[in-house]
Amino acid sequence: MPGILSNAPSVKGTVRYNLPDTSVRPEDRGLFSGPAHKSGEDVDVDLFDPVQAPEIIQGPEGLDIQGFTYVKHQSCLGEDDWLAGHNVEEKYVPEVEELVKQVTGAKKVIVNHLGIRKRLSEKNNDPTFYRKKGDQHDDAVKKLAGQDKVWVNGRKDAGLEPARFAHCDYTLRGMKRTARYCRSDMKAAAKEALDAEDEGRTDGPRYAAYSVWRPIKPVKRDPLAVADWRTTDPETLQPVEYRATSNVLDSGEYMLEQLTQTPNAKTSGQRWYCKPNQQPDDVLILKFADTETERRDGISAGCAHCSPYVHGTEGEEPRMSVEARVMAFW
């Protein structure tokens, strides 16, 4: 728990905590489909301004303390460029890789997935929703993913919805599986670390997974909120598995693992942060998982996050944003 808690300005937002329904096996769900939920609870929380909160460490150091940081970075892509041609692959992906190198000090960075969100949150409102194995989405994903290049979605189709429920996209085990099974170039970058793991050692080179989240337009509704790892009770985070694509395994897929935050978190003292009126050059970097947590105490293990409902913003246009999942190797 941070020693000094802020009286920073805040707004009220509604965060959803879910209890996953694991009655349907991950093998029977669609690719990248998490489970339905037995129940969910919408909880009003204070969303503090991270810039004015004294307990939040600014700059790169914040990634390893609270699990997230905001950095100023102007993309070469303007508002009208993101959906055109292959701009995101050819121009934005190199920007992200270089930015993460600068912020973290990693030697190599690989962008695995890039998602563009431009829809309202609709299916998120149905706790029983999940995609079934073999649906139309599965066929499309298999064609786009599973290669040694970034997989982009949301450019031509309707895109992804803001995710209302609190979660973290990788567990440490899920990240390790991703390094080993997702892409051959990723496995090659992690080779020395994976060899150490195979020998039962934890002294191999560090690697970590992050999300790089950027608004394409100023955020007027459905912002992204992040929780301070120091105030997050790990006991409220439930691991769930889902199918992900692989070009390493003959089966063409592996089991990724993420964390869903359960309703027990509502009384845990968890603190949430959200940058007001976030602009396209206000880039949020948040941590999914990090092998350094196996070697050092006090290192943030991840960052729970979600897109809360903020009262009074329902008349605004849908939020448009881009997020990149990256792996960083030291």
* pTM for this model (two decimals): 0.93
Please tell me the predicted confidence (pLDDT) of residue 131.
82
Q: Which of 220, 238, 161, 222 is nearest to 14 (CA)?
A: 222
Angle formed by the axes of helices 191-198 and 172-181, nearest 10°: 120
For residues 3 and 55, give the distance between their C-alpha atoms in angstroms, rounded to a whole number. 7
pLDDT along the chain (330 residues), means of 10: 62 95 91 89 96 96 98 95 91 97 98 86 71 80 72 72 92 98 97 97 96 96 97 97 94 96 95 96 99 96 96 88 97
Nearest to 57 by CA among 269, 293, 230: 230
pLDDT of residue 134: 80
CA–CA gap between residue 178 and residue 160 (Å, rounded) = 22
Domain boundaries, the chain: 10-329
In this prediction, residue 153 carries a pLDDT of 78
pLDDT of res. 157: 64
Phi and psi torsions of 226, nearest 5°: -130, 145
